[in-house]
Each structure stands twice: as structure tokens, then as C-alpha cells.
Amino acid sequence: MLEPIYDQEIIAAIPADTTETRVIELWLAQKQSLQTRRAYINDVARLKTFVNGKALRLVNLLELQDFVGSLDTLADTSKHRVMSAIKSFYSFCATNGYMRFNVASSIALGHLEDTTTERLISEADAIRMIALEPNPRNHAILRLLYIAGLRAAEICGLSWRNCSPIGDAVELAIFGKGAKTRKVLIPSDMWHELLALRGTALDTDPVFASRKGAGRLSTTQIYRIVNAAALRAKVKVTDSKSLVSPHWLRHAHVSHALDAGAATHVVQQTVGHSSQTTTSRYAHKKASESSAFFIKA
């Protein structure tokens, strides 16, 4: 029996036969991120509602295309994620014999516009966000997000046992995306700032504990800390509806490290990108040269 990996009330909201429910559980069990599992089950529930509770194995291509059309009111990124989830589910079902055909195989996801430039903040903005944070714990969180390029979930999962002093630096064992562990070195002054928060915490305790008890901070709390810091520092964003999130500081780390001369492979290893191609994209986000200057008109 699989341990619960999502809110039981969410799966209960999907009227389905026992076999379908079990297949959904097995599919979700492949997803390492709790956030991904929550989003995916909601996406399947959206499809289930659209087809009026019909068994998902009986949904045909026309119904699926109508469902895609119903998503046009969503932002492009949200629509892309919903369809990624649905395609993943149907692929899993076909591969494992629950369905004879993958009815979603012919649904194209399309290409998303690269909006990384809209989520890049300047070095001055990042430093101001950190400097104006009055709370010591939150200050350390902001600084570590930026200095090490960590994800919000990686900050939440960091325990004292994951920190190993090595000479003048400290090595952090980061359990990240894809269930992969990478080693990240941080400077000694960052380590001393973290140590000032430790108190009597045990090796197994989280580095960043919740104020409401000994438990870990949630990613939602990390988001609130970062967004509050951005508002305090009056960070301007391209889209007035956008909220500065922890990932913005991760983007900033990559871009600013490359600008400062860090080797692409070093930045890749630090932030845990799957390839240097992903990392190198950030080296081209600011136009410092253009062939337009060679044209006389």
C-alpha cells in the first residue's frame, strides 16, 4: 500500500472506479516533488470534471481537444503545465497496459515564450533585498538563496547534518530536483551567519525552522519571505502582476555569476542544472553586443 502522497480530499473529489484511482496513485508516485504531485492531481481532476466524471480510459481525442480549448482562459504557462500533466498520465497508462492507446499522444504542447528576462533582477536589487531584511533568519534565507542559487524546496529540506566544514568553506549536501544530491560550497561568512541561528538544534533538525514549532518551513513561507523582501526593496518587475519568488534569486545567481566570469560548468554544478545548455541561456539575456552597430543606414 502506497503511503499518502497528496491530500486525500483531492483524490476523493475524483469520482472513479477503484482501478482508476490506483492507477492515478501509481502515476503520482513517480513524481518526486510534492508540489508537482499536488498540481498534477488537480490537473487530472480538472479533466475529470470537464468530461462529467467519465472514466479517463474512455475519453476520446475529440473530448481531449475540447478540453484543451477550455484551457484558453489560463496563462500560457498554466495551460502548458496542465497539458503536460495530462499527456504524462495517458502515456503512463498506455505504457503500463491500463489503456490500449495513448489518446493524448497527438496533442501538441507547443513552445512557451522564454520569459527568463522578465524574471531577472539586478545585482543591486538582490543585495538591497538582503540588506533591508531585519529578521536574522529571513536574512540568512535570502542570502543563501542568492549566494548558492538554491530552490525554495532545497532551503526547506536543508538540515544541519547536511553541512560539512571544509577549510575556509562549508559544503552543503543539497537534495534537489530529480531526487539528486549535489554538493555546494558556500563561503565561511555565510556559514557563520547560519551558525548564529543554530542554538541547541540537533544535526537532524532543519537549518531554517518554523517559528510555530520545531518543524520545517514550507515553500509557501519561503515565497512570502522573498516577496515581502522585494516589496520592501521596491524591486521593479516587467509585469506588474508578477510576484518576485525564490526562483528569481536563483535566476539572478546564475546570471550574475556568469557575468562575473564564473565558468558555465561550475555554475551548472552549483545550481544543479541538468545540462550546460540550460545554464548558458543566462549568458545571452542581456544584449551587450549587436550586429546592428555594423550596419550603416
According to DSSP, residue 34 is labeled H
Strands of the sheet containing 169-176, edge to edge, are 163-166, 169-176, 180-187
Q: Which of 37, 48, 251, 273 is catalytic?
A: 273
Q: Which of 81, 250, 253, 256 is catalytic?
A: 250
Judge whether 202 and 161 are in contact, CB under 8 Å.
Answer: no
247 is catalytic: yes
For the chain, the distance separating the N- and C-terminal CA atoms, rounded to the nearest angstrom, is 72
211 is catalytic: no
Q: What span, in angstroms and rounded, lies between the C-alpha atoms of 84 and 31?
A: 13
100 is catalytic: no
Q: What span, in angstroms and rounded, lies between the C-alpha atoms of 163 and 170?
A: 7
Q: What span, in angstroms and rounded, lies between the C-alpha atoms of 51 and 11?
A: 16
Q: Which of 151, 216, 251, 253 is catalytic?
A: 151
251 is catalytic: no
Classify 297 as helix, strand or coil.
Answer: coil
The helix (run of H) or strand (run of E) holding residue 169 is strand 169-176
Q: Which of 80, 177, 281, 285 is catalytic?
A: 177
Nearest partner of 272 among 184, 193, 203, judged by Cα: 184
250 is catalytic: yes
180 is catalytic: no
Q: What span, in angstroms and rounded, lies between the C-alpha atoms of 209 and 141?
A: 11
Q: Which of 54, 224, 247, 281 is catalytic?
A: 247
What crossing angle do the helices spanning 246-259 and 219-232 adopt, rounded to 10°? 70
Active-site residues, by number, are 151, 177, 247, 250, 273, 282
